[in-house]
Amino acid sequence: MTEPPRSWRSVLPHLGYELPADRTPDGTDGPVTVGLPLELVRQSVSSREYWPIPEPVAQLYRAWRPAPLWRARRFEAEVGATVPIYAKYEGGNISGSHKFTTALAQAYYYHRAGFRELVTGTGAGQWGSALAAACAAFGMACTVFMVGRSLRDKPYRGSLMRLYGAELHASPSPLTALGRATDERLDNSLAVAIGEAVEYARGDAKRAFCIGSGETYSILHQSLIGLESIDQLAGLGATVDTVVGCVGAGSNFGGVALPFFAAARAGELDVPAALVAAESSASPKLTRGVYAYDHTDATGSGPMEAMYTIGSRYPIPASHSAGLRFHGAAKLISAMRHHGQISATAVGQREALSAGRAFATTELVLPAPESGHALAAAARIASGREPGHTPRHGVLVCVSGHGLLDLPAYDKLLAGLPEDRPADPEALRAATAALPAVSSIEGF
Amino acid sequence: MTDHKRVNGAVKRLLVRESRLSIDPDTVPDDEPLDGELLRVNSLGFLGMLVRLEDELDVTLDDDIFAGRVFTTVADVVDAVLDAAKETT
């Protein structure tokens, strides 16, 4: 395979149901404005299956796509796998992660719509780096609010964003009312960083807030990961019956896994694959959250989406440094979880970073800590240690990015990083108690 | 065909539906506020409505007519749709 696919593939026509509509929170009505390119709206709601990739975006994709896929034999041996493990590596671009794939597409559409500055919030910094580089590619300004603790841990993520001309703020920042009102000690919240970005973006009509990973259109753009994988596995004469990706909001998992779902529904695969989302046990929305309408940010002014969530104000432990912080799963991923079309497992940060280290020493690629969660889950599944999963053919795991800018997290592992303590059931209950359940509203 | 009467009728129908009202769309005045006592349309619902409007009128609405623009009344939407339709036909 030498060329990336020419179209993205949507899973929406294959779901068998419509996604629950978003809701506008009470008391936040204002003037009616259009802050999102219509093409991204179309990609989120239309039943069209294939979406041609605009040529300016396709041209940029060719710099690193198709992304490599290989059988990770030494990793298999290290973890005691009884079936083959195939790794799809998404770290080979300037941002170092899969997020560049949708960042380029989004920047293109926003630019075409007339916006000249994109504003976003970022946790570990991968999305911020990706958007900064994408904005530079299309001649746009970029402002990033990065989770403060994460920026202190990963200063070179900030350097990368600044290198591409982005204006960078540690969140909570003094720049916004939300930041000023937030206790400085709450510097580990992606919901606050996103909330600051939402507030800041309102200040100029040519400026737009760009949420990044969890939206349905982001997952569509990431379908390239799975589409390429299907072709590459066929080229190797290989079959997988399990696909694993990590979940912050869900674009990496959705990108690698959902094309397998669409292909199976369309009768294109001989063996359907179980789709397994690997999340952080510090932010266990899919395994311990509730299916409810929740805010995507901490200001509460953005739309409420139907999602598996632990609550936008749930405090992620300060000791957590392995990414995947977001409090909710994308509404597409959440709906598929609700309908039993995907499954999920939670991984602690020590296990994730240990799996990342094992992959680095065996396959000579240093994975991002986020990818370590997927690798840990894949290792469990391929070696028969994950209840409910007994693959017979093989496991595909997406290595969502490289960890070269995440070395402090690996330093902590080497220094004896403690495992995350499981989320406190009472804190989870408190953070979600007031959220309206999806089923009670939609009959979903 | 995207003449004023057809666009006006389609916009009002969709605004009434978006506001979850059961009234005759033709009774909605052109200067009715989008988010007022009668119509209850927010930015989020408006985006979905524009995409449905494309299907209804069989046009593709260019983003640059809409992005960053503030819409206050029914007539604002009709004018923007006519502008956008002109660009694409």
Q: Look at B70 and A32 and tell me if their CB atoms are within 8 Å.
A: yes
Q: Nearest CA to CA, how far is B2 from chain A (Å)?
A: 19
Q: CB-CB: which of B40, B43, B68 is closest to A205?
A: B68
Query: Which residue carries 């260019």 as its tokens?
Result: B62
> What ipTM describes this predicted complex?
0.83
Q: How far apart are CA A371 and CA A374, in angstroms?
A: 5
Give bridge partners of residue A246 from the DSSP assignment. A278
Residue B65's closest chain A neighbor by CA? A113
Q: Look at A35 and B51 and tell me if their CB atoms are within 8 Å.
A: no
Beta carbon pairs, A and B, within 8 Å: 82
Model pTM score:
0.92
Q: Look at B61 and A29 and tell me if their CB atoms are within 8 Å.
A: no
Q: Is A4 helix (H, G, I), strand (E, B) or coil?
A: coil
Q: What does the block give as tokens for B17? A: 């539906």
**Surface of A (87-126) touching B: CB under 8 A:** 109, 112-115
Q: Look at B66 and A41 and tell me if their CB atoms are within 8 Å.
A: no
**Do A156 and A405 meet the contact criterion of CB atoms below 8 Å apart?**
yes
Q: How far apart are CA A88 and CA A127, in angstroms?
A: 19
User: Which one-letter DSSP state was computed for residue B40?
Assistant: B
Q: How far apart are CA A320 and CA A106, in angstroms?
A: 30
Domain B4-88 has CATH 1.10.1200.10: yes
Residue B39's closest chain A neighbor by CA? A32
The whole-number pLDDT of residue A31 equals 65
Q: CB-CB: which of B45, B66, B69 is closest to A38?
A: B66
Say yes or no: A418 contacts chain B, CB-CB below 8 A: no
Q: Nearest CA to CA, how far is B73 from chain A (Å)?
A: 9
The whole-number pLDDT of residue A19 equals 92
Residue B18 has pLDDT above 80, yes or no: yes
Q: Which residue in B19, B32, B44, B61 has the most chain A C-beta atoms within 10 A of its own C-beta, making it the best mutation to test that interface? A: B44
Structural domains of chain A sorted by starting position, each given as residue range(s) with its CATH number in brackets = 55-96+217-433 (3.40.50.1100)
Residue A375 phi, psi (nearest 5):
-65, -40
Element (H, E) at A274: strand A274-280
Q: What does the block give as tokens for A77? A: 């041996």
Cα of first residue to Cα of last residue in chain B, in angstroms, is 9
Digitized pLDDT (tens) for each residue of chain A, 444 residues in all: 678 999 999 999 999 999 998 887 665 556 677 788 989 999 998 999 999 999 999 999 999 999 999 999 999 999 999 999 999 999 999 999 999 999 999 999 999 999 999 999 998 888 999 999 999 999 999 999 999 988 998 899 999 999 999 999 999 999 999 999 887 777 777 888 988 998 999 888 889 999 877 899 999 999 999 999 999 999 999 999 999 999 999 999 999 999 999 999 999 999 999 999 999 998 999 999 999 999 877 666 667 899 999 998 787 776 676 778 788 999 999 999 999 999 999 999 999 999 999 999 999 999 999 999 999 999 999 999 999 999 999 999 999 999 999 898 899 999 997 777 778 889 999 999 999 989 755 545
Q: Look at B35 and A31 and tell me if their CB atoms are within 8 Å.
A: yes
Q: What does the block give as tokens for A209? A: 């807030």
Q: Which residues make Cβ contacts (< 8 Å) with residue A407, sequence separation at least 6?
A: none
Q: Look at B71 and A206 and tell me if their CB atoms are within 8 Å.
A: no
Q: Nearest CA to CA, how far is B38 from chain A (Å)?
A: 14
Q: Look at B70 and A113 and tell me if their CB atoms are within 8 Å.
A: no
Q: How far apart are CA A208 and CA A223, in angstroms?
A: 24
Q: Nearest CA to CA, how far is A118 from chain B (Å)?
A: 13
Say yes or no: A183 contacts chain B, CB-CB below 8 A: no
The whole-number pLDDT of residue A192 equals 87
Q: What does the block give as tokens for A328? A: 């909710």
